[in-house]
A and B are shown apart, each in its own frame.
Chain A
Amino acid sequence: MHFDELIGHLGQHTVDGLSKGAIYALIALGYTLVYGVLRLINFAHSEVFMVGTFAVLILWNQLGVENNPPVGQAILFLVLGLIVAAVASGGTALALERVAYRPLRRKNAPPLIFLITAIGLSLVFVELFGQVLPKLLGGVLPDVFGRPRQIVGMPTIIEQKTLFTIGNTGITNIQLIVFVAAVAMMALLDWFINRTRYGRGVRAVAQNPETAALMGVNQERVIMLIFVLGGIMAGAAALLWSMRFGFTQNSIGFVLGLKAFTAAVLGGIGNLRGALLGGLFLGIVEVYGATLFASNWEDVIAFVVLIVVLMFRPTGLLGESLGRARA
């Protein structure tokens, strides 16, 4: 137990936890949106995120991005990365819904069948990116001019610098960007769901599918919309992840997805603001826990939090329901 370490640098650990949790929160939105409308856990959402990181990796490698490019270029690469990741992740999420979930919904399959399908899909994606992709490409992908380009690790787009220090707590530029970007994306989504016509449709279906259908809301379109929205958020998370950690693997989705799901449940699944709160809370708890014990207990801490929350407050901190998120 390292109490002195935790207390001595409490501010620092909190900041670290917040920036970690911001990414959880973005991924958690995908679970929350789908759950809010369809009442099912899209277990394969973690792979939607993973695909996003690979899209960023391939894009940056294709563009031949070097470490620490000038600011102007860096912004360009980040914007391009966001677009590509959002398209890749959103597209993957949409494909999942069309290929797998929709036929199941047609048959009115019980929720467990959805879950098992999703697990299978998740396995398929992990293996595709781990076994098949590298073998097909041999680590080499032709660039836009058809020249073979070796796939290497991700470049560092923004060099990490401590922006300002309060007491012994340093806040870095990257932490700030991640946090602000994540909150901004979420605010955007919140606005979209609560203030636009499409959002009203989503809320209507979430509250009562039958009534919404009677009122002329096209359910299929709403369902596609939420998968795409969740995918875009995961794509944004993938970009922030790539910028902050600068690497990806086929296996990063599993644990991250479980934690994002924990965050969603923690905040109240189906509740957009709850996802933010849950993500940040989980990030902080994890960093505190890893400091107190050792980092190899981190996952245990997250899972125990999940079990405890589900036992004592299964509706999460803010309560569920996408439909009543405004209340």
Chain B
Amino acid sequence: MRRSYVRALGTVALAATLVVAAGCQDTGGGDGGTASGDCGGKIAIFGAFTGDNAGLVIPSLNGAKLAVKQFNEANPNCKVTMQEFDTQGDPAVATPFANQIAGDNSFLGVIGGHFSGESDATMPIYQAAGLAMVSPSATRSDLTQKGNTSFYRVVGNDSTQAGAVASYLKAQNAQKVFMVDDASAYGAGITDELGKQLGPLVVNKDKIQERQAQFDATISKIKSAKADFVFYGGYTREAAPLVKQMRAAGVQAKFVGPDGLYDPAFPKGASGGAEGAIITCPCLPPDKAGGTFSADYQKEYGIAPGSYGAEGFDGAKVYLDAFKDGKKTRADILAYVKAYDKQGVSKYIKFDSKGDVDPSKVVIWAYQIKGEAIEPLQELKLS
């Protein structure tokens, strides 16, 4: 009997400790307050840094890291730190990160999201916190059409790119365009935009599914449509086998795809099948990118900046410029981003009222696959 009293007392004591602990503790997370010193601060970058699609996002992360590193070297008394948050591209993972970043007042700006889904999911949270978001690669058109006040992107949106593809196809005198997409938000989005702009030139279309590996039905449709161009909206994983099987089946139509294919794995995976394929990308050829970015990136990481490397750099640069100008609160930085007006390495950066890059400043390039290289072909006219 006595023992059970001891136990009961113990339980009560534990409960009491808990209550006390709850009363007198820091709610944790972050150190609160703004950065010390006259200059500098902390920004966050989030995106799919691991997982299936990390390959598309890593260059952007590296670009941003490079920008921060260069800045800190050049400005020893203006320290900027950047914290990485790996969402694996999953909106459900990005949401608690957004809570974390928004709730931690030491974060003054956000680079991301890298995909449209995670951007869409977290936009209201950052907006409520008054944090600016600068996305290097979320291209879905409707992201900026929802009346948001804190989302900016240093990349052209899907409809701009689709317009450029349409004008390219028209200039190539395309008569029968067959459109295929992977039914993903990105692939279907850009393909639908293109369909609208091409109108009667679209002879037929098909949708495939992610991780599909055999494309007989699609290829047979392309054949019977006698298409002269095939546009594929989607990513490398499906595009490489598709184009390879198309060529093996004797389809001669030219293959055109958007920036989702701007990935060295595409020509590699198609092993020869992708020869001559055209890839459009709202990204500058590395040697055209401003300043020494391309060389610096090459030096730092040992490879050429891939997709969105320059955009990642620019995204970070926007904030770095803000810090340099002595901005120290979220509101100041948001206002600074909104009014940003400078030459970046990927393009001239100036945002319109909705947060898109001023359409006249967007540059879209066509690249062509030669062997295993993606070689710049020409700059495209926007619609």
Is A152 in contact with chain B by the CB < 8 A criterion? yes
Q: State whether A247 and B220 are in contact (beta carbons under 8 Å apart), knowing that A160-B248, A295-B215 are contacts in the complex.
A: no
Q: How far is the CA of A290 from the CA of B215 in the complex (A)?
A: 10
Q: How far is the CA of A20 from the CA of B245 in the complex (A)?
A: 13
Contact of B183 among A5, A67, A251, A296 (CB under 8 A): A296
Is A294 in contact with chain B by the CB < 8 A criterion? yes
Question: Which of B213, B216, B244, B272 has the most A CB atoms < 10 Å from its CB?
Answer: B216
Residues of A255-300 contacting chain B, CB below 8 A: 255-256, 286-287, 290-291, 294-296, 298-299
Question: Which single residue of chain B is at the shortest CB-CB distance from A150?
Answer: B268
Does B208 lie within 8 Å of A296, measured CB to CB?
yes
Q: How far is the CA of A252 from the CA of B241 in the complex (A)?
A: 12
Is A155 in contact with chain B by the CB < 8 A criterion? yes
Is B147 in contact with chain A by the CB < 8 A criterion? no
Does A299 lie within 8 Å of B240, measured CB to CB?
no
**B211 neighbours in A (Cβ, 8 Å):** 249, 251-252, 254-255
Is A85 in contact with chain B by the CB < 8 A criterion? no
Contact of B220 among A12, A154, A162, A245 (CB under 8 A): A12
**A286 neighbours in B (Cβ, 8 Å):** 217
Does A246 lie within 8 Å of B221, measured CB to CB?
no
5 pairs of residues in contact across A and B, judged by CB atoms under 8 Å? A9-B220, A245-B213, A256-B213, A287-B217, A296-B182
Does A153 lie within 8 Å of B217, measured CB to CB?
no
Is B197 in contact with chain A by the CB < 8 A criterion? no
Does A245 lie within 8 Å of B272, measured CB to CB?
no
Is A207 in contact with chain B by the CB < 8 A criterion? no
Does B244 lie within 8 Å of A287, measured CB to CB?
no
**B206 neighbours in A (Cβ, 8 Å):** 294-295
Q: How far is the CA of A186 from the CA of B271 in the complex (A)?
A: 31
B residues sitting closer than 8 Å to A (CB atoms) are 182-183, 206-209, 211-218, 220-221, 224, 237, 240-241, 244-245, 248-250, 268-273, 372
Q: How far is the CA of A172 from the CA of B212 in the complex (A)?
A: 22
1/0 contact string of A226-251 vs chain B (CB within 8 Å): 00000000000000000001110101
Ranked nearest first, the 8 interchain pairs of A and B with the lowest CB-CB distance are A153-B271, A290-B217, A296-B207, A16-B216, A296-B209, A160-B248, A294-B207, A295-B208
Q: How far is the CA of A160 from the CA of B251 in the complex (A)?
A: 11
Does A153 lie within 8 Å of B220, measured CB to CB?
no
What is the CB-to-nearest-CB distance from B55 to chain A, in angstroms, rounded to a whole number?
11
Question: Which single residue of chain A is at the shortest CB-CB distance from B250?
Answer: A160
**A246 neighbours in B (Cβ, 8 Å):** 241, 244-245, 248, 271, 273
Q: State whether A291 and B221 are in contact (beta carbons under 8 Å apart), knowing that A155-B271, A296-B207 are contacts in the complex.
A: yes
Is A203 in contact with chain B by the CB < 8 A criterion? no
8 further interface pairs, Cβ-Cβ under 8 Å (given A17-B216, A291-B217): A5-B224, A9-B220, A13-B217, A153-B271, A156-B271, A245-B214, A246-B248, A290-B216
What is the CB-to-nearest-CB distance from B272 to chain A, in angstroms, rounded to a whole number?
5
What is the CB-to-nearest-CB distance from B273 to chain A, in angstroms, rounded to a whole number?
8
Does A152 lie within 8 Å of B271, measured CB to CB?
yes
Q: How far is the CA of A17 from the CA of B183 in the complex (A)?
A: 23
Q: State whether A152 and B268 are in contact (beta carbons under 8 Å apart), knowing that A247-B240, A295-B209, A295-B212 are contacts in the complex.
A: yes
**A67 neighbours in B (Cβ, 8 Å):** 271-272
**A172 neighbours in B (Cβ, 8 Å):** 249
What is the CB-to-nearest-CB distance from B58 to chain A, in angstroms, rounded to a whole number?
14
Question: Which of A17, A172, A291, A296 has the most B CB atoms < 10 Å from its CB?
Answer: A296
Q: State whether A298 and B209 are in contact (beta carbons under 8 Å apart), knowing that A8-B224, A245-B214, A245-B244 are contacts in the complex.
A: yes
Question: Which of A20, A156, A162 has the most B CB atoms < 10 Å from its CB?
Answer: A156
Question: Which single residue of chain B is at the shortest CB-CB distance from A174?
Answer: B248
Q: How far is the CA of A20 from the CA of B183 in the complex (A)?
A: 23
**B207 neighbours in A (Cβ, 8 Å):** 294-296
**B272 neighbours in A (Cβ, 8 Å):** 67, 155-156
1/0 contact string of A160-171 vs chain B (CB within 8 Å): 101000000000
